[in-house]
């Protein structure tokens, strides 16, 4: 783990904007989707906001990343935002629309990953070689793909768990839903035990990186020719 104060400050500055945008747009996307499908719980609590401070969770945004940083010697860093208040029973079609509301947050991260990758290609295409900006764009890709993959883990209250509840038959869905009060503790334990990273997060991130790269290959080739 790098303990050089200058390097630590630089790392924080590089990751701060991508991380704030990632958690803010992720949380807001859940709220917008819920309101679209009939539940205005988040809107009534003024949680549909682009203010990042409304989405900071003491455990998921602060404690968990710090624990992972020190436990893994800075090699693995991940967290989550304050849960968005969504009452799935108020959706017009709860069973089906729960899937779309839950998917909205991870999808926002995937879109942001593509946007940061696009910015990285544009910067390189214009000959920008400033380490700070290139690193920030790269961090934006990595952070958002990590959040995309982590949030799809199939255990509630993570979005992936709620997507699975929406897809399962009623009996199995109810059994899985019973795990929700302890879901975050289970996921945190599995993460610290080194299960989530190698068995779920990394494989899904590798596939996601490949998909983003494939999507932007024509633009990357065009930028290379222009350069």
Asked if pLDDT for residue 76 goes beyond 70, the answer is no
Q: Which residues 6+ apart lie within 8 Å of 88 measured at CB?
A: 39, 94, 97, 98, 101, 162
* Tokens encoding 165: 């509840």
Residue 192 pLDDT level (bands cut at 50, 70, 90): confident
Residue 226 pLDDT level (bands cut at 50, 70, 90): low
Residue 53 pLDDT level (bands cut at 50, 70, 90): confident
Mean pLDDT along residues 174-181: 94
Note the pLDDT of residue 77: 64
* DSSP string for the chain: ----HHHHHHHHHHHHHHHHHHHHHHHHHHHHHHHHTT--HHHHTT---S-GGGG--IIIIIIHHHHHHHHTTTS-----PPPP---GGGSSSHHHHHHHHHHHHHHHHHHHHHHHHHHHHHHHHTT---HHHHHHHHHHHHHHHHHHHHHTSSSTTSHHHHHHHHHS-HHHHHHHHTTHHHHHHHHHHHHHTTSHIIIIIHHHHHHHHHHHHHHHHHHHHHHHHH-
Give tens-digit pLDDT for 199-219: 999 999 999 999 999 999 988
Instruction: State the Cα–Cα distance between residues 120 and 133, nearest whole angstrom.
Output: 8
Give tens-digit pLDDT for 142-166: 999 999 999 999 999 999 999 999 9
**Nearest by Cα to 222 from 127, 130, 114, 121:** 121
Residue 120 pLDDT level (bands cut at 50, 70, 90): very high
**pLDDT averaged over every residue in the chain:** 88
- Among 28-42, 59-73, 123-137, 155-169, the range scoring the smallest mean pLDDT is 59-73
Note the pLDDT of residue 152: 95
Note the pLDDT of residue 138: 95
Mean pLDDT along residues 98-111: 96
Longest dimension (CA), the chain: 58
Residue 126 pLDDT level (bands cut at 50, 70, 90): confident
């Amino acid at each position: 783990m790098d303990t050089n104060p200058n390097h630590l400050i630089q790392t924080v500055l590089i990751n701060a904007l991508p991380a704030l945008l990632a958690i803010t747009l992720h949380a807001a996307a859940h709220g917008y989707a819920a309101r679209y499908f009939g539940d205005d719980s988040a809107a009534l609590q003024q949680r549909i906001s682009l203010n990042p401070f409304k989405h900071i969770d003491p455990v998921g945004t602060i404690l968990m990343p710090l624990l992972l940083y020190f436990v893994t010697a800075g090699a693995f860093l991940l967290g989550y935002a304050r849960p968005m208040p969504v009452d799935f029973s108020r959706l017009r079609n709860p069973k089906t629309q729960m899937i779309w509301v839950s998917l909205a947050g991870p999808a926002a991260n995937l879109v942001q990953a593509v946007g940061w990758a696009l910015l990285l290609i544009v910067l390189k295409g214009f000959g920008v070689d400033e380490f700070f900006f290139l690193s920030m764009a790269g961090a934006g890709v990595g952070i958002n793909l990590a959040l995309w993959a982590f949030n799809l883990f199939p255990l509630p209250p993570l979005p992936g768990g709620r997507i699975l509840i929406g897809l399962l038959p009623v009996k199995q869905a109810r059994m899985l839903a019973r795990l929700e009060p302890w879901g975050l503790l289970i996921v945190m334990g599995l993460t610290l035990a080194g299960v989530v990273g190698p068995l779920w997060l990394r494989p899904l991130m590798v596939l996601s990186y490949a998909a983003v790269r494939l999507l932007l290959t024509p633009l990357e080739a065009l930028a290379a020719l222009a350069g």
